[in-house]
Amino acid sequence: MNPDVLSELIAVVARDVIAVREPEVAASIDSSAIAFERPKNRDHGDWATSVALKLAKRVGMAPRDLAAELAGRISEIEGVSSVDIAGPGFLNIRLDASAAGEIARSIVEAGSEFGRNDSLVGQTINLEFVSANPTGPLHIGHTRWAALGDSLGRVLAASGARVANEFYVNDAGAQMDVFGESVLAAALGEPTPENGYPGEYVQELGRIALERRPDLASLDRAEAILVAREIGYETQLQEIKDSLSRFNVHFDVWFSERTLHAGSSEGGSLIDDAIERLRAQGHVFDEDGAVWVRTTDFGDDKDRVITRGNGIFTYFAADAAYYLSKGDRGFQHKIYLLGADHHGYVHRLKALAGSAGDDPEKDIEVLIGQLVSINGAKLSKRAGNIIELNDLQAWLGTDALRYSLARYPADSPLTLDPELLQKRTNDNPVFYVQYAHARICSVLRAWADKDGGDVASLKDVDLSALDSPQAQALMLQLAKYPAMLSAASADFAPHDVTFYLRDLAASYHSYYDAERILVDDEAVKKARLALVAATAQVLHNGLAVLGVSAPASM
């Protein structure tokens, strides 16, 4: 008996009972409408539902009467041991030990697939995040979006969506030229130009540029800038890719802004095409010699210029072409994960979706991340007094860093405590969870050494011995995993996973303290091993969603 099945059965029962009185109300009931949940208080049963409270009014019954009728039917469901009515009409449901234990078997069978659900099946999602300018190293803000975005992508994929992680490379525009001038100046031993890029890394890029093109000094200035820019760009982008890869963050698409400026089949650029497509939709107008998009039609506070009076595109033009490109490449849903400094973009991007004929409410989601601060971090002199991803990772480690950055919703500001993250105790949330996993692996190793047992042989054991309160609490926690993942994907909330894992690890530690696993009674031992192996599997799966390792020993 897993919770999805039970909630579905309760929905069926509710439909049945209510159909007699109010067929229309009955038809509107599905498993999401019955408020099926794990009660906070264990005295309230294994599972609880307030469905009677919610429906009583519409059916014209007293909540407790409706509850009583439902309770009678629910108690007949196979595997349900009791149903109690509490308070104004809550139904508190308890399961047989063996019915509850089935969860352990299904987890061991499903392995790393356990938790996958189909709540987002059919969605094609373009998930854009980080998108740092290729003119310098990634900083602490990028680090947060990298951890969050990558985990979000995995959460969405686990719910059945087809997800592409995408990095938009801003490799066109004036800042690239400034970058080129800075690299060239460094290569030639000149001072950094005014408003140029500071930082030791620019000097490094200059040295690399000179190494590759010793003739740099003899080139025409404009050409030299171009050469320096391209070498710097290529080198810096590669460093960004390497940093992210070390951070266990994966991108499917590296989308170059230059492709938008380059020609399309018709001769004009993709940006020209984009403006014409928006014009065809009726949202573009000319005024004061410039070309505008009427973004105010979609909630923006002012209209936006897309082509300036001097004929040059604004940055918004590239945004428009880029947005359309996502749709053209088959993505119906576009998620943008942006830093707090971009929050003025939200209306603009939504307006873009609307102007393109998409649904601004459904087809585009803009998540604004708040700032990260950290105590005691060293500023990177080489990168011009920012806090670098590379330094953070070397300092704190991928696991601790990714886990703690994924622990909070994107829209809440967060402060990292480096002292805590370096502790190898349960003060440090990632170690608490990893320790639970390592502890289980240790038990399984002891079993394998002594009896030669392996986890695959636990698929057919009798699970009725799992009747202690701690074992049942653990099983219920395990059973919640798929629904938790599905909720996390619906809310774009990878932090749900970290909180779940904390609770699951706590349930396991309590269980471990209450019951010895490797006992003499073979049947009991097998049942407990199945439960414990299932727990390790879910810890492993959950950590994988966060891009964090699940070590077998620590």
Partner RNA sequence: GUCCCUAUAGCUCAGGGGAUAGAGCGUCCGCCUCCGAAGCGGAAGGCCGCUGGUUCGAUUCCAGUUAGGGGCACCA
Q: CA 157, CA 342: separation in Å to the nearest integer?
A: 26
Is residue 197 close enough to count as binding RNA by CB under 7 A?
A: no
- Give residues 107-136 in contact with RNA (rule: CB under 7 A): 133
Q: CA 80, CA 9: separation in Å to the nearest integer?
A: 11
Q: CA 425, CA 439: separation in Å to the nearest integer?
A: 14
CB of 33 to RNA, least distance (A): 12
Contact (CB, 8 A) for 339 and 292: no
- Beta bridge pairs of residue 49: 36, 91
Question: 361 to each of 157, 333, 348, 411, how far by Cα in Å?
Answer: 21, 10, 13, 19
CB of 159 to RNA, least distance (A): 16
Backbone phi and psi for residue 236, each to the nearest 5 degrees, phi listed first? -70, -40
CB of 199 to RNA, least distance (A): 17
- Give residues 404-423 in contact with RNA (rule: CB under 7 A): 407-409, 411-415, 417
CB of 138 to RNA, least distance (A): 17
- Cβ–Cβ contacts within 10 Å for residue 454, how many? 11
Q: CA 111, CA 40: separation in Å to the nearest integer?
A: 28
CB of 218 to RNA, least distance (A): 29
- Give residues 495-524 in contact with RNA (rule: CB under 7 A): 495-496, 499, 502, 506, 509-510, 512-518
* Range in contact with RNA (rule: CB under 7 A) among 117-125, 184-192, 267-275, 338-346: 338-346
Is residue 446 close enough to count as binding RNA by CB under 7 A?
A: yes
Is residue 326 close enough to count as binding RNA by CB under 7 A?
A: no
Is residue 427 close enough to count as binding RNA by CB under 7 A?
A: yes
The contact mask relative to RNA for 362-401 (x = CB under 7 A, - = no) is: ------x-xx------------------------------
The contact mask relative to RNA for 153-192 (x = CB under 7 A, - = no) is: -----------------x-xxxxx----------------
Q: Give the nearer residue to RNA in terms of CB position, either 73 or 342.
A: 342
Q: CA 541, CA 331: separation in Å to the nearest integer?
A: 27
Q: Give the nearer residue to RNA in terms of CB position, either 164 or 506.
A: 506
Torsion sign over Cα 320, 323, 325, 327: negative
In the list 122, 218, 312, 452, the residue contacting RNA (rule: CB under 7 A) is: 312
Alpha carbon 206 to its chain's center: 37
Q: CA 350, CA 360: separation in Å to the nearest integer?
A: 5
Q: CA 221, CA 297: separation in Å to the nearest integer?
A: 46
Instruction: Name the pairing type of β-strands 364-369 and 333-339.
Output: parallel
Q: Give the nearer residue to RNA in terms of CB position, either 266 or 419.
A: 419
**Three-class DSSP labels, 18-33:** HHCCCHHHHHCCCHHH
Is residue 79 close enough to count as binding RNA by CB under 7 A?
A: no
Beta strands in 264-332 (DSSP E): 284-287, 290-293, 304-307
CB of 135 to RNA, least distance (A): 9
Q: Give the nearer residue to RNA in terms of CB position, either 326 or 407.
A: 407
In the list 197, 201, 431, 481, the residue contacting RNA (rule: CB under 7 A) is: 431
- Cβ–Cβ contacts within 10 Å for residue 346, how many? 17
Q: Give the nearer residue to RNA in terms of CB position, either 97 or 444.
A: 444
CB of 197 to RNA, least distance (A): 12
Q: Give the nearer residue to RNA in terms of CB position, either 162 or 343.
A: 343
- Give residues 20-49 in contact with RNA (rule: CB under 7 A): 39-41, 43-44, 48
- Give residues 208-267 in contact with RNA (rule: CB under 7 A): none
CB of 384 to RNA, least distance (A): 16
Q: CA 553, CA 334: separation in Å to the nearest integer?
A: 40
Q: Is residue 366 packed enough to be buried (19+ CB in 10 Å), middle (13-18) or exposed (0-12)?
A: buried
Backbone phi and psi for residue 163, each to the nearest 5 degrees, phi listed first? -120, 135
Q: Residues in contact with RNA, total (CB under 7 A)?
A: 88
Is residue 308 close enough to count as binding RNA by CB under 7 A?
A: yes
Is residue 289 close enough to count as binding RNA by CB under 7 A?
A: yes
Is residue 489 close enough to count as binding RNA by CB under 7 A?
A: no
In the list 111, 282, 309, 469, the residue contacting RNA (rule: CB under 7 A) is: 309
Is residue 290 close enough to count as binding RNA by CB under 7 A?
A: yes
Is residue 328 close enough to count as binding RNA by CB under 7 A?
A: no
**Amino acid letter, residue 379:** L
CB of 182 to RNA, least distance (A): 14
